[in-house]
């Protein structure tokens, strides 16, 4: 006799993102009517990495479609750090710019920590500046990194509230793993951060009600690791010979999980929608108008 195969609810990141973009567009219209100006987002791309160029183009299109002013700066790959810092200083001083985003990764001759630290924290729509990371960690209002923010929004949509759930975040990057853990903690989850040196990763994943995979290793987390009924959020975007795959082995995990994000079409679209949200939040705070509920 074969065991019955159950199948998880697929969390539709594209639909969540479309709904958030719609709410942002409505908020932008209200902001523009109140202030007489559009929120402005400046995106800086250094070099010509094809994936980064695609993301920057998508961000520009989505920004304009939401009714905001999209400003794009493309710099040559050999620009020196001083040149990039000069542009950041200009954008900091420009009153029409509410959000500044420097697309990562940067070329290896540039210190990305120095560039992030040069961005005005009030305009840091990526939420990567140490001031925003510290504000998030201490429970103060912050600009929150877009990818983890998108993940937490989808988790809340699935679960309602998250208090008391066991969550594991696999990966400890400043962009995803660490802020994700902070957001889950703020929702009163019991949080484990696992990484390449974790001794028994299987056990950490196996006991979790929520698994957030952000390791950058194609299909590393298999269905057999997942607690039946758990919610699985796959942040991985790995280009392989089989095409784009996540950090979770979707085909096996979908049979065990209660809900799961696909790749593509899961977390990725929410990253850009949350960037628009953060830009409107930054603009509202800078202009001293009421922040929309998003
Ligand atoms: N300054 C930043 N740099 C980077 C960030 C970031 O948030 N801020 N995140 C990633 C890249 N990224 C946005 O910049 C991003 C990645 C993926 C997607 C996305 O929609 N992915 C699609 C698949 C698209 C594809 O085929 O590649 C999906 O998952 O459905 C959006 C944004 C690193 N750099
Ligand atoms: Mg995805």
Ion ligand 2, residue ranges at CB < 5 A: 263, 266-268
Are residues 94 and 154 both part of a single domain? no
Asked if residue 104 belongs to a domain, the reply is yes
Are residues 162 and 222 both part of a single domain? yes
Q: Is the pTM of this model over 0.80?
A: yes
Per the residue annotation, which of 98, 120, 124, 126 is the catalytic one? 126
Domain span including residue 215? 145-267
Per-residue pLDDT of the chain (294 residues; tens, 9 = 90+): 555 567 999 999 999 999 999 999 999 999 999 999 999 999 999 999 999 999 999 999 999 999 999 999 999 999 999 999 999 999 999 999 999 999 999 999 999 999 999 999 999 999 999 999 999 999 999 999 999 999 999 999 999 999 999 999 999 999 999 999 999 999 999 999 999 899 999 999 999 999 999 999 999 999 999 999 999 999 999 999 999 999 999 999 999 999 999 999 999 999 999 999 999 999 999 999 999 999
So what's the ipTM on this one?
Answer: 0.95
Asked if residue 96 belongs to a domain, the reply is yes
Per the residue annotation, which of 38, 103, 182, 255 is the catalytic one? 103
CA distance 158 to 258: 10
> Residue 167 maps to which CATH number?
3.40.50.720
Asked if residue 255 belongs to a domain, the reply is yes
DSSP category for residue 68: P
CA distance 56 to 117: 21
Are residues 208 and 177 both part of a single domain? yes
CA distance 294 to 283: 14
Q: Has 237 been labeled as part of a binding site?
A: yes
Q: Has 173 been labeled as part of a binding site?
A: yes
> Residue 59 maps to which CATH number?
3.40.50.10860
Residue 59 appears among annotated catalytic residues: yes
- Identify the residues whose C-beta falls under 6 Å from ligand 1: 55, 101-104, 126, 146-147, 237, 244, 263-265, 268-269, 271-272
Are residues 162 and 102 both part of a single domain? no
């Amino acid at each position: 006799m074969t065991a019955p195969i159950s199948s998880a609810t697929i969390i539709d990141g594209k639909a969540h993102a479309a709904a958030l973009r719609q709410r942002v567009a409505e908020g932008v219209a209200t902001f523009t009517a109140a202030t007489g100006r559009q929120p402005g987002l400046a995106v800086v791309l250094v070099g010509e990495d094809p994936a980064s160029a695609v993301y920057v183009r998508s961000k520009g299109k989505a920004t304009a479609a939401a009714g905001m002013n999209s400003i794009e700066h493309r710099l040559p790959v050999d620009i020196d750090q001083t040149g990039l810092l000069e542009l950041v200083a200009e954008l900091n001083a420009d009153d029409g710019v509410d959000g500044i985003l420097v697309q990562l990764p940067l070329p290896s001759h540039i210190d990305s920590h120095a560039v992030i630290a040069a961005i005005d924290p009030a305009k840091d729509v990526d939420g990567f500046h140490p001031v925003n990371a510290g504000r998030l960690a201490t429970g103060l209002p912050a600009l929150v990194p877009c990818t983890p923010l998108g993940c937490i929004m989808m988790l809340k949509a699935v679960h309602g509230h998250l208090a008391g759930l066991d969550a594991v975040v696999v990966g400890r990057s400043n962009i995803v793993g660490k802020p994700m853990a902070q957001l889950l903690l703020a929702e009163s989850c019991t949080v484990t951060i696992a990484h390449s040196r974790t001794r028994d990763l299987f056990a950490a994943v196996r006991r979790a009600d929520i698994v957030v995979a952000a390791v950058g290793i194609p299909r590393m987390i298999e269905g057999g690791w997942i607690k039946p009924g758990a919610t699985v959020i796959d942040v991985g975007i790995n280009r392989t010979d089989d095409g784009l795959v996540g950090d979770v082995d979707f085909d096996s995990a979908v049979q065990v999980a209660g809900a799961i994000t696909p790749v593509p079409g899961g977390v990725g679209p929410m990253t850009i929608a949350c960037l628009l949200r953060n830009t409107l939040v930054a603009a509202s705070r800078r202009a001293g108008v009421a922040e929309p509920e998003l």
